[in-house]
Structure 1
Amino acid sequence: MRVIYALRSRGVTDARVLEVFEGVDRREFVSDTFAERAYDDVPLPIASGQTTSQPSLVGLMIQSLGIGPRHKVLEVGTGTGFAAAILSRLARRVYTLERHPGLARTARANLERLGITNVTVIAGDGTRGLPEQAPFDRVLVAAAAEDPPGPLLSQLREGGSMVLPVGVSDSVQTLIKVSRTPHGQDYEELMPVRFVPLVEGVEQD
């Protein structure tokens, strides 16, 4: 399978992550226009001027979080729900925030069609997180901020971790992993990346 080959060649080695990717069809999350490219390891355009990330990058981000079956996960940047579908098979519960209500509706429909019941899709401001459901064991952010947002850090459980791209949108961004320890936060740089910027507020579609 092309997607699994791409994941392995980019460094995704976690057997559980690879198995989950094998069971989630990316074709379900892209428009008919891009159906033929659904299995290519490339980002693809989706509605509202956004993109769905390339599978290998999603895989590397998820692998770096080390998600366990009892974990509660927050995702920022739902898109059409592809990463949320992957997360749903690794974690106990997933909450995912999307600032474009139209995309949130699409993601909700996609996940419902696939019978995924442990994901809650919310049209909301990802920079604020979801304090009413905090703390989270893991946080995955699919948009770039200049610094890790304070509200997201504060909603991370001690011993938890967050993966996100940092850097301004018109220059090189770095994917980092932030781990919350009893003494503060530990930061680890993972790789250079390019994401859309993390924007405050909710769009009015």
Structure 2
Amino acid sequence: MQMGLDFELVEEYVAGVDEVGRGPLCGPVVTAAVILDPARPILGLNDSKKLSQARREALYDEIREKALSWHIARAEVVEIDTLNILHATMLAMQRAVEGLHITPRRALIDGNRCPRLAMPASAVVQGDSKVPAIAAASILAKVSRDREMAEMELAYPGYGIGGHKGYPTPVHLEALARLGATPIHRQSFAPVRAALEARGGLITLAALPA
């Protein structure tokens, strides 16, 4: 059984921030920011990738119930293609923190880069396996994105999106070559661009949201 992180490591009014979906060929990058309540322990928090789907789903509800504040944000495919995936991820992280109804005194960001924020921020490499608030953010982001990808499976059948969640698996790459790209595919990613060019050109990008 996977052990969770020590909840006593929770710091007051510190937001954990994480993202899901930098690597997929389709769909948004989803981020979350969470300020945990030291007085309301949540057992079993860990990197979302180390948890079963059932455990993630249960923790998703518990985090939303017990956290002092949480917010899930995103950057859309058109933003990823326009800004590039790194800058789109930073934008989505900014949106997650700015969406909190409590302003944290500082933010801890999973990875090695920090977005521009109004409060001090520190990057924590593999933070989702070290910091409870970042682990909580990783769970909210992953469950939210996985649910959306299950819906996209229904909207765009034949690609297996509900299974691979947009990642470049052999099943996804084969379907992309056979069926072409959909409007939710990231045109700036090489396999998608190749599939589009093989069919005569790119899909026109929609205007960025205001």
Q: Does 1 or 2 have the higher relative contact order (CA < 8 Å, sep 6+)?
A: 2
TM-score by length of 2: 0.27
* Structure 1 or 2: more helix by fraction: 2
TM-score by length of 1: 0.28
Q: Which has the larger radius of gyration?
A: 2
* Structure 1 or 2: more strand by fraction: 1
